[in-house]
Structure 1
């Protein structure tokens, strides 16, 4: 696996590239031009500038998260063709600048949804929390107000230009069914995947978070069967999945390990994180450690190891630790801890496989290149 780290850019992130550089095994930055409204074409000079910034800091920039899909595309409006053309031109520019994967989602109006951005855990840390009963009875406009009050940084998927038209968007989706949304997704893929293929880019859809309908809006990327249907809409390696264990793990009935084995060739990008799900459907994000949540993180990492996964991986949302003031879910400390946990699992599996394949293999053999000969020390 290839470890990457999401970064929102100078002035919009409390974490620095210098800090990320000190996390072992991180080779790339997951990025986007977050100030560009959904539907607009990304300027080439901005893409080139970020590429140069990442390379200068010692990273690659091969994963973009996200190039957001305009609501008119999801709604199937006549204006969608222009927005799709803009999307394709953006992909062409990204491909020309060595981007390999573009993460996106097809969730109406909202991106990931939580009711509390700083719910306290037993150890005193705080984390993103979803209280199901509150969503079922809450006014979405009140939720937007609370989100805006609790974050001094812009929230991905909660862009002001999207939310300022909230009333009109809810009215537009009032008669859109899940099958309508599937048809509009198929239309988008039919146009975009050939362009992605030409640009050397793999599109990777993110599951809906949480993986069920909210506020009566249709949501269609919510299960293993839905992922299977998505891949069948356009049978190409460029039509792939960002397999997020946290999003899918909010439904404890999902078998994420089975998904990894079934879709292994169509997962260019993986988000690995843990959540603890309560019997009433509430869930809170926890440390990445398997025992701290209800998602079998150790089994998920083993599944990726077993299928020979060589795609990109990032720790997803983390807790807020040690008084850190940061973007909700995107602090430095817990994501760094998560990376080291994932590497620990991965390295142990690699070591175990090497020993199994070669009974005479010893741990010392992996250290040879790092040990100076005795004479060089004297």
Structure 2
């Protein structure tokens, strides 16, 4: 397991590279050019500027999250070929700075969805929260305005320029079924996976968050059967999955350790976090400890250890603790605590099995 840490760049993150360097076992940054609109080719000068910052602290840039997929690709519009061409050119550029994994998602219109960014918990910390009934009865434009309400940071995966196009986009998706979305994903993968493979890069699709349809939009990366199908659309090692225990764990029917054991060789990137799911379908993000949420994170780590996982992993979202002012879900303190929980479990399994080596960065 190779530990990495998501960082949003200078001036766009409350966490500094100096602070990340002090977290044991972190070897690389998970990064992206968040100011480049989806569908545009990434400028080489901006890529190199990011690499220069990483090099100063001895971090690699082997994991990108995300190179966003333009909506016309998801919709299967005739214009998609131009955006796919830009995507392939970006892949080629990323290879020159050592990128090995590209995380992306295929969620229509909306990326991750929450109803509160700073829901207070019993201990006084706050966390990302999803209230199912509110989403079920909400005008999606209200949600978009809520998510981008924080003017201090861009929100990962969300594109503010879509606000004025919501009605247009919802109309466009009226005739897009799950099957059509699978077809459009296959069209995309058949073109980009060969390019990625030539450059020793693995594409890693992120599960839908939450893993069910919202606002009448189709969602297809929701569970074990659908992930199996996606990996078979283009059956190649460069077509992989970012296995996110938090996204998939919002549905109690998803067996995360079973997915790890089945898809292990096709998981280049792991997001490991916990979530507490309530009977009414609400959920809130918690600490990484198994007993604090509905996902048995200790068993998740055990599954990765059992398969001899050598891919990248990050602690994903954290709570906001100790009065930290930070991007929702992406403070320093709780994610650092999460890393130490993950390393502790990994080391324990190594010693339990008589392994000579414990966690290494």
TM-score category (smaller protein): over 0.9
1:149 offset after TM fit, Å? 2.2
Q: CA separation in 2, counterparts of 1:341 and 1:18?
A: 21
Structure 1 runs of 4+ with >4 Å offset: none
1:163 offset after TM fit, Å? 2.9
1:13 is matched with which residue?
Answer: 13
Superposed CA deviations along residues 171-216 of structure 1, whole A, max 9, x for unmatched, are 1111111011000000000000000011110000000000000000
1:282 is matched with which residue?
Answer: 282
1:93 is matched with which residue?
Answer: 93
Question: 1:190 aligns to what SS in structure 2?
Answer: helix
Q: CA separation in 1, counterparts of 2:86 and 2:148?
A: 29
1:236 is matched with which residue?
Answer: 236
1:151 offset after TM fit, Å? 5.0
Q: CA separation in 1, counterparts of 2:156 and 2:316?
A: 13
Question: 2:119 aligns to what SS in structure 1?
Answer: strand
1:253 is matched with which residue?
Answer: 253
1:97 offset after TM fit, Å? 1.6
TM-score by length of 2: 0.97
Question: 1:149 aligns to what SS in structure 2?
Answer: coil
Q: CA separation in 2, counterparts of 1:150 and 1:119?
A: 15
- 2:118, 2:126 within 8 Å by CA — same for their partners in 1? yes
Mapping for residues 290-309 of structure 1, pairs under 5 Å: 290-309=290-309
Structure 2 unaligned spans of 5+: none
- 2:277, 2:283 within 8 Å by CA — same for their partners in 1? yes
1:313 is matched with which residue?
Answer: 313
1:148 offset after TM fit, Å? 2.4
Q: CA separation in 2, counterparts of 1:122 and 1:279?
A: 18
Mapping for residues 152-231 of structure 1, pairs under 5 Å: 152-231=152-231
1:2 is matched with which residue?
Answer: 2
Q: CA separation in 1, counterparts of 2:280 and 2:146?
A: 23
Q: CA separation in 1, counterparts of 2:174 and 2:183?
A: 16
Q: CA separation in 2, counterparts of 1:123 and 1:134?
A: 24
Mapping for residues 65-84 of structure 1, pairs under 5 Å: 65-84=65-84
- 1:224, 1:259 within 8 Å by CA — same for their partners in 2? yes
Question: 1:258 aligns to what SS in structure 2?
Answer: helix
- 2:66, 2:157 within 8 Å by CA — same for their partners in 1? no
Q: CA separation in 1, counterparts of 2:336 and 2:43?
A: 32
Question: 1:351 aligns to what SS in structure 2?
Answer: helix
RMSD of Structure 2 on Structure 1 (CA): 1.2
Q: CA separation in 1, counterparts of 2:270 and 2:8?
A: 18
Q: CA separation in 1, counterparts of 2:45 and 2:101?
A: 19
Larger radius of gyration: 1
1:144 offset after TM fit, Å? 1.5
Structure 1 unaligned spans of 5+: 356-360, 367-378
1:369 is matched with which residue?
Answer: none
Q: CA separation in 2, counterparts of 1:209 and 1:318?
A: 16
Q: CA separation in 2, counterparts of 1:199 and 1:73?
A: 22
1:334 is matched with which residue?
Answer: 334
- 1:276, 1:293 within 8 Å by CA — same for their partners in 2? yes
- 2:116, 2:128 within 8 Å by CA — same for their partners in 1? yes
Question: 1:203 aligns to what SS in structure 2?
Answer: strand
Q: How many residues align?
A: 358
- 1:237, 1:266 within 8 Å by CA — same for their partners in 2? yes
TM-score by length of 1: 0.93
1:47 offset after TM fit, Å? 1.1
Question: 1:111 aligns to what SS in structure 2?
Answer: coil
- 1:203, 1:240 within 8 Å by CA — same for their partners in 2? yes
